[in-house]
Structure 1
Amino acid sequence: MSSVSSSSEKCRLLELPTELREQIWIFTVTEWIPTKEEHNGPSGRGSQPPMLQRNPVRIDRFNKPLPPPITRASILTRNETLPLYYAYNTFECWRPLFWVNNWSQSTFIDWLTSLTAERCWWIEDITLLYKHEAELDHDIEEGLTDLGIELQPGVISSKRELTELEMGHLIMGLPKHFGKQGRRNRWLA
């Protein structure tokens, strides 16, 4: 029986060239889901495997995901993967409401203030979700600057109007049209 100390073992993954490791890290730290493509051919053996597409990381009052475990495996992997996690994911958050007494206590602002300034700067894509167009009256970038939160210019790339029911339809197993404006639910009438 041989005794091997863990400190003398080398990790082959960390011996790969930096460029190859980065490609592996990007795949590891990015949220992925299978694409829903319609196939005309028969399914089963010999059919093409499903393709993957990026899935946004949703941050709301019920869901504040941590970066993937690989970012906590070692100091080296943390230094290599954490910037990639923030750079290669799209983060979806509810837009803060300016007319609430203290809009800075929104989940979005709470999440950004929990990050270091360096991590905020790594973020490259945020989509803000909102319920009504009236929420778009105030400039969010100006509000973030007032709070001392600095993001790269253009990080908040899009805004999307959703109802809470639409946002949660997949999680609750409901049809996609459930909760859309203009539709009246029969059981609520």
Structure 2
Amino acid sequence: MSDDFVIRAVRGDEWEQVKALRLDALRDPAAAVAFLETEERALAQDDAYWQQRAAGAAEGRGARQFIAEAGDGRWVGSVTVLIEAQGATDFFGDTVEQQQGHAVGVFVRPEQRGSGLVERLFDAALEWAWSLDEPVTERVRLFVHEDNARAEAFYRRYGFEASGVLVPLESGAKEREYVFVRPAGGTP
């Protein structure tokens, strides 16, 4: 049951756990339609990369990674929110039209799926995004692969709405991702 877990932000010194959970996520059978990164690329990163990743997701207002931690210390899920500043250039080279969060790296171990744990992770992540002072976060967006029906169903149930925008996975790729958004103050 999801009540047995602590939901919290990662700490900057937890880079080894951040790395281990990410590698587990990339080994999941759903990884091909859930993540842009591959296990091979992640394994090629040196320790300094993982140390920076953990530190960057632990403090400041640029990003925050939330994890679900079991009583025995095992991490069983995660979601990260990156803050995209209005006027900045996003991952696709487009200008960000409004201050927004971008939810990435959503993962819950298979044995916890359907337990309510992902909702608790999103509750913490969005609460953090909405709590930021000027400039305030106006919405949170995320991308979901067109073949990831399970994730799409959760995002809709949680209050995200399809924006009508589809983006290719890479230049010329036939696969696409839907852009989902949830405005500040929206309720699941």
TM-score, with normalisation over the residues of structure 1? Answer: 0.25
Give the helix-richer structure, 1 or 2. Answer: 1
Higher relative contact order at CA 8 Å, sep ≥6: structure 1 or structure 2?
A: 2
Bigger radius of gyration, 1 or 2?
A: 1
TM-score, with normalisation over the residues of structure 2? Answer: 0.25
